[in-house]
Structure 1
Protein backbone atom coordinates (compact mmCIF):
# COMPACT_ATOMS: atom_id res chain seq x y z
CA UNK A 1 0.00 0.00 0.00
CA UNK A 2 3.04 2.26 -0.29
CA UNK A 3 2.60 5.17 -2.70
CA UNK A 4 5.73 6.51 -4.39
CA UNK A 5 5.24 10.11 -5.54
CA UNK A 6 8.71 11.41 -6.38
CA UNK A 7 12.26 10.18 -6.36
CA UNK A 8 13.29 12.64 -3.63
CA UNK A 9 9.99 12.81 -1.72
CA UNK A 10 9.59 11.34 1.73
CA UNK A 11 11.61 11.51 4.94
CA UNK A 12 15.30 10.67 5.27
CA UNK A 13 17.47 10.53 8.40
CA UNK A 14 21.22 10.13 8.01
CA UNK A 15 23.51 9.38 10.97
CA UNK A 16 21.27 11.27 13.39
CA UNK A 17 22.57 11.40 16.97
CA UNK A 18 21.30 13.42 19.92
CA UNK A 19 22.75 14.19 23.35
CA UNK A 20 21.27 16.14 26.24
CA UNK A 21 23.35 18.47 28.44
CA UNK A 22 26.60 16.56 28.95
CA UNK A 23 28.50 15.80 25.73
CA UNK A 24 30.33 13.03 27.59
CA UNK A 25 27.09 11.23 28.46
CA UNK A 26 25.83 8.39 26.24
CA UNK A 27 23.69 9.70 23.39
CA UNK A 28 19.91 9.50 23.58
CA UNK A 29 19.94 8.67 19.87
CA UNK A 30 22.94 7.11 18.17
CA UNK A 31 23.50 7.11 14.40
CA UNK A 32 19.91 6.74 13.24
CA UNK A 33 19.55 5.97 9.53
CA UNK A 34 16.01 5.69 8.20
CA UNK A 35 14.14 6.39 4.95
CA UNK A 36 10.35 6.65 4.79
CA UNK A 37 8.61 6.79 1.42
CA UNK A 38 5.94 9.39 0.74
CA UNK A 39 2.50 8.00 1.63
CA UNK A 40 3.89 5.31 3.92
CA UNK A 41 2.61 4.62 7.45
CA UNK A 42 5.53 3.83 9.77
CA UNK A 43 5.38 3.14 13.51
CA UNK A 44 8.26 3.44 15.96
CA UNK A 45 8.13 1.13 18.98
CA UNK A 46 10.52 0.43 21.82
CA UNK A 47 10.96 0.47 25.57
CA UNK A 48 10.72 3.71 27.57
CA UNK A 49 13.89 5.75 27.26
CA UNK A 50 14.88 4.53 23.80
CA UNK A 51 14.43 8.00 22.27
CA UNK A 52 11.21 7.51 20.26
CA UNK A 53 9.61 10.83 21.19
CA UNK A 54 12.96 12.64 20.96
CA UNK A 55 13.31 11.37 17.40
CA UNK A 56 9.83 12.62 16.54
CA UNK A 57 10.64 16.08 17.93
CA UNK A 58 13.71 16.27 15.71
CA UNK A 59 11.65 15.36 12.64
CA UNK A 60 9.03 17.95 13.61
CA UNK A 61 11.74 20.61 13.75
CA UNK A 62 11.09 21.35 17.44
CA UNK A 63 14.73 20.67 18.29
CA UNK A 64 17.51 21.46 15.85
CA UNK A 65 20.38 20.61 18.18
CA UNK A 66 21.49 17.24 16.83
CA UNK A 67 24.16 15.60 14.73
CA UNK A 68 23.46 14.23 11.27
CA UNK A 69 20.90 15.30 8.71
CA UNK A 70 17.12 15.07 8.53
CA UNK A 71 15.47 15.84 5.19
CA UNK A 72 11.86 15.95 4.07
CA UNK A 73 10.97 16.24 0.39
CA UNK A 74 14.66 16.74 -0.33
CA UNK A 75 15.01 19.76 2.00
CA UNK A 76 16.87 19.80 5.29
CA UNK A 77 14.67 20.23 8.37
CA UNK A 78 15.85 23.14 10.51
CA UNK A 79 12.62 24.31 12.17
CA UNK A 80 8.86 23.68 12.18
CA UNK A 81 6.98 23.90 8.91
CA UNK A 82 3.36 23.75 7.72
CA UNK A 83 4.26 20.70 5.61
CA UNK A 84 4.70 18.72 8.87
CA UNK A 85 1.85 18.36 11.38
CA UNK A 86 2.11 16.83 14.83
CA UNK A 87 -0.36 15.33 17.32
CA UNK A 88 0.66 14.69 20.94
CA UNK A 89 -0.67 12.32 23.61
CA UNK A 90 -2.18 15.33 25.38
CA UNK A 91 -4.62 16.92 22.93
CA UNK A 92 -3.44 20.42 23.95
CA UNK A 93 -6.69 22.10 22.97
CA UNK A 94 -7.23 25.67 24.11
CA UNK A 95 -10.01 25.48 26.75
CA UNK A 96 -11.39 28.93 25.89
CA UNK A 97 -11.88 28.03 22.20
CA UNK A 98 -14.57 25.80 20.75
CA UNK A 99 -13.90 22.88 18.36
CA UNK A 100 -14.06 25.01 15.22
CA UNK A 101 -11.76 27.66 16.69
CA UNK A 102 -9.26 25.09 17.98
CA UNK A 103 -8.92 23.59 14.51
CA UNK A 104 -8.73 27.05 12.90
CA UNK A 105 -5.76 28.02 15.11
CA UNK A 106 -3.52 25.88 12.92
CA UNK A 107 -4.44 28.01 9.89
CA UNK A 108 -3.50 31.34 11.47
CA UNK A 109 -0.41 31.74 9.27
CA UNK A 110 -1.71 29.84 6.24
CA UNK A 111 -1.85 31.85 2.97
CA UNK A 112 -5.60 31.30 2.53
CA UNK A 113 -8.64 33.56 2.34
CA UNK A 114 -11.08 33.64 5.25
CA UNK A 115 -13.57 31.61 3.22
CA UNK A 116 -10.97 29.00 2.26
CA UNK A 117 -9.95 28.63 5.90
CA UNK A 118 -13.57 28.15 6.94
CA UNK A 119 -14.03 25.45 4.28
CA UNK A 120 -10.85 23.66 5.35
CA UNK A 121 -11.90 23.68 9.01
CA UNK A 122 -15.37 22.32 8.16
CA UNK A 123 -13.92 19.59 5.92
CA UNK A 124 -11.53 18.36 8.59
CA UNK A 125 -14.09 18.42 11.37
CA UNK A 126 -16.20 16.22 9.09
CA UNK A 127 -13.15 14.03 8.32
CA UNK A 128 -12.74 13.13 12.01
CA UNK A 129 -16.48 12.59 12.49
CA UNK A 130 -17.28 15.64 14.62
CA UNK A 131 -19.79 17.50 12.44
CA UNK A 132 -22.36 18.99 14.81
CA UNK A 133 -19.83 19.59 17.59
CA UNK A 134 -18.29 22.75 16.14
CA UNK A 135 -19.51 24.96 19.01
CA UNK A 136 -18.56 22.57 21.80
CA UNK A 137 -15.70 23.46 24.13
CA UNK A 138 -13.01 20.98 25.26
CA UNK A 139 -14.64 20.43 28.66
CA UNK A 140 -17.79 19.28 26.83
CA UNK A 141 -15.92 16.58 24.88
CA UNK A 142 -14.82 13.07 25.81
CA UNK A 143 -11.11 12.27 25.68
CA UNK A 144 -11.53 10.50 22.37
CA UNK A 145 -13.43 13.41 20.85
CA UNK A 146 -10.75 15.83 22.02
CA UNK A 147 -8.10 13.70 20.30
CA UNK A 148 -10.18 13.77 17.11
CA UNK A 149 -10.07 17.57 17.28
CA UNK A 150 -6.29 17.41 17.74
CA UNK A 151 -6.00 15.15 14.67
CA UNK A 152 -8.18 17.53 12.64
CA UNK A 153 -5.96 20.42 13.73
CA UNK A 154 -2.87 18.43 12.72
CA UNK A 155 -4.32 17.74 9.28
CA UNK A 156 -6.08 21.02 8.44
CA UNK A 157 -2.97 22.56 6.86
CA UNK A 158 -2.88 19.60 4.49
CA UNK A 159 0.59 18.55 5.69
CA UNK A 160 2.50 16.01 3.66
CA UNK A 161 3.77 14.42 6.88
CA UNK A 162 1.79 13.82 10.09
CA UNK A 163 3.71 12.91 13.23
CA UNK A 164 1.79 11.17 16.03
CA UNK A 165 3.36 10.94 19.48
CA UNK A 166 1.36 8.36 21.49
CA UNK A 167 -1.91 10.05 20.43
CA UNK A 168 -4.11 7.36 22.01
CA UNK A 169 -1.95 6.55 25.03
CA UNK A 170 -4.22 8.22 27.61
CA UNK A 171 -7.48 6.74 26.29
CA UNK A 172 -9.45 3.74 27.49
CA UNK A 173 -9.16 0.54 25.45
CA UNK A 174 -12.51 0.85 23.66
CA UNK A 175 -12.00 4.49 22.65
CA UNK A 176 -8.45 3.69 21.58
CA UNK A 177 -9.67 0.86 19.36
CA UNK A 178 -12.24 3.13 17.72
CA UNK A 179 -9.68 5.84 17.01
CA UNK A 180 -7.28 3.30 15.56
CA UNK A 181 -9.98 2.42 13.03
CA UNK A 182 -10.58 6.12 12.35
CA UNK A 183 -6.88 6.77 11.83
CA UNK A 184 -6.69 3.88 9.34
CA UNK A 185 -9.65 5.37 7.47
CA UNK A 186 -8.11 8.86 7.43
CA UNK A 187 -4.75 7.55 6.22
CA UNK A 188 -6.32 5.48 3.46
CA UNK A 189 -8.32 8.52 2.31
CA UNK A 190 -5.59 11.16 2.58
CA UNK A 191 -2.52 9.00 1.81
CA UNK A 192 -0.12 11.37 3.49
CA UNK A 193 3.02 10.10 5.20
CA UNK A 194 2.35 9.18 8.83
CA UNK A 195 4.89 8.38 11.55
CA UNK A 196 3.47 7.02 14.80
CA UNK A 197 5.33 6.64 18.09
CA UNK A 198 3.61 4.08 20.31
CA UNK A 199 4.23 1.71 23.20
CA UNK A 200 1.42 -0.51 21.90
CA UNK A 201 2.93 -3.12 19.57
CA UNK A 202 -0.47 -4.36 18.45
CA UNK A 203 -1.43 -0.81 17.50
CA UNK A 204 1.71 -0.61 15.38
CA UNK A 205 0.83 -3.89 13.63
CA UNK A 206 -2.73 -2.74 12.96
CA UNK A 207 -1.73 0.55 11.38
CA UNK A 208 1.69 0.27 9.78
CA UNK A 209 3.36 -0.56 6.51
CA UNK A 210 6.61 -0.91 8.47
CA UNK A 211 7.55 -1.00 12.15
CA UNK A 212 10.83 0.43 13.42
CA UNK A 213 11.94 -1.36 16.59
CA UNK A 214 14.20 0.82 18.74
CA UNK A 215 16.85 -0.34 21.18
CA UNK A 216 17.63 1.69 24.30
CA UNK A 217 20.79 3.12 25.90
CA UNK A 218 21.75 4.42 23.43
CA UNK A 219 18.71 4.72 21.20
CA UNK A 220 19.34 2.81 18.00
CA UNK A 221 17.28 1.09 15.34
CA UNK A 222 17.37 -2.61 16.16
CA UNK A 223 15.13 -3.87 13.39
CA UNK A 224 12.74 -2.66 10.68
CA UNK A 225 9.81 -5.02 10.08
CA UNK A 226 7.63 -5.02 6.97
CA UNK A 227 3.93 -5.53 7.69
CA UNK A 228 2.41 -7.18 4.63
CA UNK A 229 -0.92 -8.17 6.21
CA UNK A 230 -3.98 -7.18 4.14
CA UNK A 231 -6.05 -4.20 5.28
CA UNK A 232 -8.26 -3.52 7.09
CA UNK A 233 -6.70 -5.30 10.07
CA UNK A 234 -8.57 -6.20 13.23
CA UNK A 235 -7.58 -6.60 16.86
CA UNK A 236 -7.35 -10.28 17.77
CA UNK A 237 -6.86 -11.51 14.22
CA UNK A 238 -4.50 -14.49 14.22
CA UNK A 239 -1.84 -12.97 11.95
CA UNK A 240 -1.95 -9.63 13.80
CA UNK A 241 -1.45 -11.44 17.10
CA UNK A 242 1.36 -13.59 15.69
CA UNK A 243 3.35 -10.61 14.42
CA UNK A 244 2.71 -8.71 17.66
CA UNK A 245 4.05 -11.64 19.68
CA UNK A 246 7.11 -11.95 17.44
CA UNK A 247 7.97 -8.28 18.00
CA UNK A 248 7.39 -8.49 21.74
CA UNK A 249 9.68 -11.53 21.84
CA UNK A 250 12.46 -9.44 20.31
CA UNK A 251 12.17 -7.00 23.23
CA UNK A 252 12.61 -9.81 25.74
CA UNK A 253 15.52 -11.27 23.78
CA UNK A 254 17.31 -7.93 23.67
CA UNK A 255 16.65 -7.31 27.36
CA UNK A 256 18.09 -10.71 28.24
Structure 2
Protein backbone atom coordinates (compact mmCIF):
# COMPACT_ATOMS: atom_id res chain seq x y z
CA UNK A 1 0.00 0.00 0.00
CA UNK A 2 1.30 3.48 -0.86
CA UNK A 3 2.56 5.63 1.98
CA UNK A 4 0.25 8.53 2.86
CA UNK A 5 2.09 11.85 2.60
CA UNK A 6 1.15 13.76 5.73
CA UNK A 7 3.32 16.84 5.15
CA UNK A 8 3.40 19.09 2.13
CA UNK A 9 6.04 17.71 -0.21
CA UNK A 10 5.34 20.13 -3.04
CA UNK A 11 8.18 22.00 -4.72
CA UNK A 12 7.88 25.41 -6.38
CA UNK A 13 10.54 27.25 -8.38
CA UNK A 14 9.90 30.88 -9.29
CA UNK A 15 12.15 32.79 -11.70
CA UNK A 16 15.20 30.75 -10.66
CA UNK A 17 18.42 31.90 -12.34
CA UNK A 18 22.01 30.89 -11.73
CA UNK A 19 25.29 32.46 -12.87
CA UNK A 20 28.73 31.32 -11.77
CA UNK A 21 30.81 34.11 -10.21
CA UNK A 22 33.08 35.91 -12.64
CA UNK A 23 31.64 34.06 -15.61
CA UNK A 24 31.02 36.32 -18.62
CA UNK A 25 29.09 33.59 -20.42
CA UNK A 26 25.27 33.50 -20.40
CA UNK A 27 23.58 32.32 -17.19
CA UNK A 28 23.66 28.60 -16.49
CA UNK A 29 19.95 28.81 -15.66
CA UNK A 30 17.52 31.56 -16.60
CA UNK A 31 14.08 32.19 -15.08
CA UNK A 32 13.06 28.62 -14.28
CA UNK A 33 9.40 28.37 -13.24
CA UNK A 34 8.15 24.94 -12.18
CA UNK A 35 5.72 23.46 -9.68
CA UNK A 36 5.88 19.81 -8.60
CA UNK A 37 3.05 18.33 -6.55
CA UNK A 38 3.42 16.13 -3.49
CA UNK A 39 4.04 12.52 -4.53
CA UNK A 40 4.73 13.38 -8.16
CA UNK A 41 7.57 11.83 -10.18
CA UNK A 42 9.15 14.40 -12.50
CA UNK A 43 12.14 13.86 -14.80
CA UNK A 44 14.38 16.58 -16.23
CA UNK A 45 15.96 15.84 -19.60
CA UNK A 46 18.04 17.87 -22.01
CA UNK A 47 21.34 18.05 -23.82
CA UNK A 48 24.64 18.28 -21.94
CA UNK A 49 25.25 21.78 -20.62
CA UNK A 50 21.60 22.75 -20.22
CA UNK A 51 21.92 23.04 -16.43
CA UNK A 52 20.00 19.92 -15.32
CA UNK A 53 22.42 18.89 -12.57
CA UNK A 54 22.95 22.50 -11.50
CA UNK A 55 19.21 22.84 -11.01
CA UNK A 56 19.11 19.65 -8.94
CA UNK A 57 21.93 20.96 -6.71
CA UNK A 58 19.94 24.13 -6.04
CA UNK A 59 16.84 22.12 -5.11
CA UNK A 60 18.96 19.94 -2.81
CA UNK A 61 20.35 23.02 -1.04
CA UNK A 62 23.94 22.22 -2.03
CA UNK A 63 24.24 25.69 -3.58
CA UNK A 64 22.37 28.67 -2.13
CA UNK A 65 23.79 31.26 -4.53
CA UNK A 66 20.91 31.78 -6.94
CA UNK A 67 18.31 34.36 -7.91
CA UNK A 68 14.60 33.70 -7.55
CA UNK A 69 12.76 31.45 -5.13
CA UNK A 70 12.89 27.71 -4.45
CA UNK A 71 10.17 26.71 -2.00
CA UNK A 72 9.78 23.21 -0.59
CA UNK A 73 6.93 22.39 1.75
CA UNK A 74 6.30 26.06 2.46
CA UNK A 75 9.89 27.09 3.25
CA UNK A 76 12.67 28.59 1.11
CA UNK A 77 15.50 26.20 0.29
CA UNK A 78 18.77 27.64 1.59
CA UNK A 79 20.71 24.56 2.70
CA UNK A 80 20.48 20.78 2.89
CA UNK A 81 18.19 19.03 5.36
CA UNK A 82 16.80 15.59 6.09
CA UNK A 83 13.56 16.27 4.22
CA UNK A 84 15.42 16.10 0.89
CA UNK A 85 17.49 13.04 -0.01
CA UNK A 86 19.81 12.79 -3.00
CA UNK A 87 21.33 9.93 -5.01
CA UNK A 88 24.22 10.61 -7.42
CA UNK A 89 25.53 8.72 -10.45
CA UNK A 90 28.55 7.67 -8.38
CA UNK A 91 27.18 5.67 -5.45
CA UNK A 92 29.69 7.31 -3.05
CA UNK A 93 29.70 4.41 -0.59
CA UNK A 94 32.35 4.32 2.11
CA UNK A 95 34.61 1.35 1.22
CA UNK A 96 35.41 0.56 4.88
CA UNK A 97 31.71 0.22 5.82
CA UNK A 98 29.41 -2.68 5.00
CA UNK A 99 25.95 -2.32 3.43
CA UNK A 100 24.08 -1.75 6.69
CA UNK A 101 26.68 0.71 7.94
CA UNK A 102 26.63 2.68 4.69
CA UNK A 103 22.87 3.04 4.90
CA UNK A 104 23.06 3.93 8.59
CA UNK A 105 25.42 6.83 7.88
CA UNK A 106 22.44 8.84 6.66
CA UNK A 107 20.79 8.46 10.09
CA UNK A 108 23.70 9.90 12.06
CA UNK A 109 21.83 13.12 12.87
CA UNK A 110 18.32 11.67 12.86
CA UNK A 111 16.32 12.05 16.12
CA UNK A 112 15.85 8.29 16.52
CA UNK A 113 16.85 5.75 19.14
CA UNK A 114 19.47 3.12 18.33
CA UNK A 115 16.73 0.49 17.95
CA UNK A 116 14.69 2.74 15.65
CA UNK A 117 17.74 3.39 13.47
CA UNK A 118 18.51 -0.32 13.24
CA UNK A 119 14.91 -1.07 12.26
CA UNK A 120 14.90 1.68 9.61
CA UNK A 121 18.14 0.37 8.09
CA UNK A 122 16.80 -3.18 7.97
CA UNK A 123 13.54 -2.06 6.34
CA UNK A 124 15.32 -0.06 3.64
CA UNK A 125 17.88 -2.75 2.85
CA UNK A 126 14.87 -5.01 2.29
CA UNK A 127 13.09 -2.32 0.25
CA UNK A 128 15.89 -2.34 -2.34
CA UNK A 129 16.11 -6.14 -2.35
CA UNK A 130 19.48 -6.61 -0.60
CA UNK A 131 18.51 -8.98 2.20
CA UNK A 132 21.42 -11.32 2.79
CA UNK A 133 24.01 -8.72 1.75
CA UNK A 134 23.95 -6.64 4.93
CA UNK A 135 27.56 -7.53 5.86
CA UNK A 136 29.01 -7.17 2.39
CA UNK A 137 31.44 -4.34 1.62
CA UNK A 138 31.29 -2.17 -1.52
CA UNK A 139 34.10 -4.11 -3.25
CA UNK A 140 31.97 -7.25 -2.89
CA UNK A 141 28.98 -5.70 -4.67
CA UNK A 142 28.17 -5.24 -8.35
CA UNK A 143 27.61 -1.71 -9.64
CA UNK A 144 23.87 -2.20 -9.60
CA UNK A 145 23.89 -3.50 -6.03
CA UNK A 146 25.99 -0.54 -4.92
CA UNK A 147 23.43 1.83 -6.46
CA UNK A 148 20.69 -0.02 -4.56
CA UNK A 149 22.59 0.74 -1.35
CA UNK A 150 22.81 4.41 -2.39
CA UNK A 151 19.05 4.50 -3.00
CA UNK A 152 18.40 2.88 0.39
CA UNK A 153 20.66 5.48 2.01
CA UNK A 154 18.76 8.25 0.21
CA UNK A 155 15.42 6.91 1.47
CA UNK A 156 16.25 5.79 5.01
CA UNK A 157 15.57 9.21 6.54
CA UNK A 158 12.07 9.03 5.06
CA UNK A 159 12.67 12.21 3.02
CA UNK A 160 9.66 13.95 1.54
CA UNK A 161 11.63 14.57 -1.65
CA UNK A 162 14.19 12.30 -3.31
CA UNK A 163 16.49 13.81 -5.92
CA UNK A 164 18.23 11.49 -8.38
CA UNK A 165 21.14 12.78 -10.49
CA UNK A 166 21.77 10.27 -13.32
CA UNK A 167 21.66 7.40 -10.78
CA UNK A 168 21.95 4.66 -13.42
CA UNK A 169 24.15 6.46 -15.93
CA UNK A 170 27.30 4.43 -15.21
CA UNK A 171 25.61 1.02 -15.34
CA UNK A 172 25.39 -1.48 -18.17
CA UNK A 173 22.12 -1.59 -20.12
CA UNK A 174 20.69 -4.72 -18.48
CA UNK A 175 21.46 -3.57 -14.93
CA UNK A 176 20.07 -0.12 -15.71
CA UNK A 177 16.83 -1.65 -16.99
CA UNK A 178 16.43 -3.75 -13.83
CA UNK A 179 17.01 -0.76 -11.56
CA UNK A 180 14.61 1.41 -13.54
CA UNK A 181 11.89 -1.15 -12.81
CA UNK A 182 13.03 -1.33 -9.18
CA UNK A 183 12.81 2.46 -8.80
CA UNK A 184 9.33 2.39 -10.36
CA UNK A 185 8.30 -0.22 -7.78
CA UNK A 186 9.76 1.80 -4.89
CA UNK A 187 8.00 4.98 -5.99
CA UNK A 188 4.67 3.18 -6.34
CA UNK A 189 5.16 1.78 -2.82
CA UNK A 190 6.40 4.93 -1.08
CA UNK A 191 4.80 7.71 -3.17
CA UNK A 192 7.28 10.33 -2.09
CA UNK A 193 8.05 13.20 -4.43
CA UNK A 194 10.88 12.28 -6.82
CA UNK A 195 12.88 14.42 -9.26
CA UNK A 196 15.15 12.58 -11.69
CA UNK A 197 17.83 14.13 -13.90
CA UNK A 198 18.66 11.84 -16.82
CA UNK A 199 20.07 11.80 -20.35
CA UNK A 200 17.97 8.70 -21.06
CA UNK A 201 14.66 9.88 -22.55
CA UNK A 202 13.17 6.38 -22.45
CA UNK A 203 14.01 6.16 -18.74
CA UNK A 204 12.18 9.44 -18.18
CA UNK A 205 9.10 8.17 -20.04
CA UNK A 206 9.15 4.88 -18.15
CA UNK A 207 9.21 6.51 -14.70
CA UNK A 208 7.61 9.93 -14.86
CA UNK A 209 4.30 11.68 -14.39
CA UNK A 210 5.78 14.66 -16.24
CA UNK A 211 8.97 15.32 -18.19
CA UNK A 212 10.66 18.71 -18.18
CA UNK A 213 12.59 19.25 -21.42
CA UNK A 214 15.35 21.81 -20.94
CA UNK A 215 17.14 23.90 -23.53
CA UNK A 216 20.69 25.21 -23.27
CA UNK A 217 22.57 28.52 -23.43
CA UNK A 218 21.05 29.67 -21.17
CA UNK A 219 19.43 26.71 -19.38
CA UNK A 220 15.68 27.14 -19.48
CA UNK A 221 12.52 25.07 -19.69
CA UNK A 222 11.54 24.43 -23.29
CA UNK A 223 8.53 22.18 -22.70
CA UNK A 224 6.76 20.21 -19.98
CA UNK A 225 5.21 16.95 -21.16
CA UNK A 226 2.51 15.02 -19.30
CA UNK A 227 3.04 11.25 -19.34
CA UNK A 228 -0.41 9.68 -19.20
CA UNK A 229 0.61 6.11 -20.06
CA UNK A 230 -0.83 3.52 -17.64
CA UNK A 231 1.40 2.11 -14.91
CA UNK A 232 3.28 -0.10 -14.42
CA UNK A 233 5.25 0.55 -17.61
CA UNK A 234 7.81 -1.65 -19.30
CA UNK A 235 10.64 -0.97 -21.71
CA UNK A 236 9.47 -1.98 -25.14
CA UNK A 237 5.86 -0.87 -24.60
CA UNK A 238 4.60 0.81 -27.77
CA UNK A 239 3.43 3.91 -25.91
CA UNK A 240 6.77 4.30 -24.14
CA UNK A 241 8.66 4.05 -27.42
CA UNK A 242 6.39 6.48 -29.27
CA UNK A 243 6.62 9.18 -26.61
CA UNK A 244 10.39 8.70 -26.43
CA UNK A 245 10.64 9.23 -30.18
CA UNK A 246 8.44 12.34 -30.02
CA UNK A 247 10.64 13.89 -27.33
CA UNK A 248 13.87 13.03 -29.14
CA UNK A 249 12.44 14.64 -32.29
CA UNK A 250 11.79 17.77 -30.22
CA UNK A 251 15.50 17.85 -29.32
CA UNK A 252 16.51 17.70 -32.98
CA UNK A 253 13.95 20.37 -33.98
CA UNK A 254 15.17 22.73 -31.27
CA UNK A 255 18.79 22.20 -32.31
CA UNK A 256 18.17 23.30 -35.92
For normalisation by structure 1, the TM-score amounts to 0.97
Residues 149 and 8 from structure 1, CA distance in 2 versus in 1: closer, same or farther, beyond 3 angstroms?
A: closer
Which residue number in structure 2 is paired with residue 193 of structure 1?
193
Q: Secondary structure at the match of 1:102?
A: helix
Shift of 1:8: 5.9
Residues 124 and 8 from structure 1, CA distance in 2 versus in 1: closer, same or farther, beyond 3 angstroms?
A: closer
Shift of 1:27: 0.2
Which residue number in structure 1 is paired with residue 12 of structure 2?
12
Which residue number in structure 1 is paired with residue 243 of structure 2?
243
Which residue number in structure 2 is paired with residue 167 of structure 1?
167
Shift of 1:237: 1.1
Which residue number in structure 1 is paired with residue 88 of structure 2?
88
CA deviation profile, 1:154-185 (whole Å, cap 9, x unmatched) = 00000000000000000000000000000000
Which residue number in structure 1 is paired with residue 140 of structure 2?
140
Shift of 1:9: 4.3
CA deviation profile, 1:189-238 (whole Å, cap 9, x unmatched) = 00000000000000000000000000000000000000000011111111
Contact 2:107 2:156 in 1 (8 A): yes
Distance 1:51 1:24 in 2: 16
Distance 1:221 1:254 in 2: 12
Contact 2:83 2:159 in 1 (8 A): yes
Distance 1:163 1:229 in 2: 23
Residues 174 and 161 from structure 1, CA distance in 2 versus in 1: closer, same or farther, beyond 3 angstroms?
A: same
Distance 1:137 1:66 in 2: 39
Which residue number in structure 2 is paired with residue 21 of structure 1?
21
Contact 1:88 1:166 in 2 (8 A): yes
Shift of 1:25: 2.7
Q: In the TM superposition, what are the counterparts of 1:48-59 in structure 2 within 5 Å?
A: 48-59=48-59
Distance 2:218 2:211 in 1: 19
Q: Secondary structure at the match of 2:212?
A: strand
Which residue number in structure 2 is paired with residue 127 of structure 1?
127
Shift of 1:93: 0.1
Contact 1:4 1:39 in 2 (8 A): no
Distance 2:34 2:146 in 1: 32
Q: Secondary structure at the match of 2:33?
A: strand
Which residue number in structure 1 is paired with residue 109 of structure 2?
109
Unpaired runs of 5+ in structure 2? none
Contact 2:43 2:211 in 1 (8 A): yes
RMSD value, Cα: 1.4
Distance 2:235 2:117 in 1: 37
Contact 2:8 2:38 in 1 (8 A): no
Paired residues, what number? Answer: 254
CA deviation profile, 1:8-59 (whole Å, cap 9, x unmatched) = 6400000000001225431000000000000000000000000000000000
For normalisation by structure 2, the TM-score amounts to 0.97
Which residue number in structure 2 is paired with residue 208 of structure 1?
208
Residues 74 and 176 from structure 1, CA distance in 2 versus in 1: closer, same or farther, beyond 3 angstroms?
A: same
CA deviation profile, 1:122-178 (whole Å, cap 9, x unmatched) = 000000000110000000000000000000000000000000000000000000000
Contact 2:45 2:197 in 1 (8 A): yes
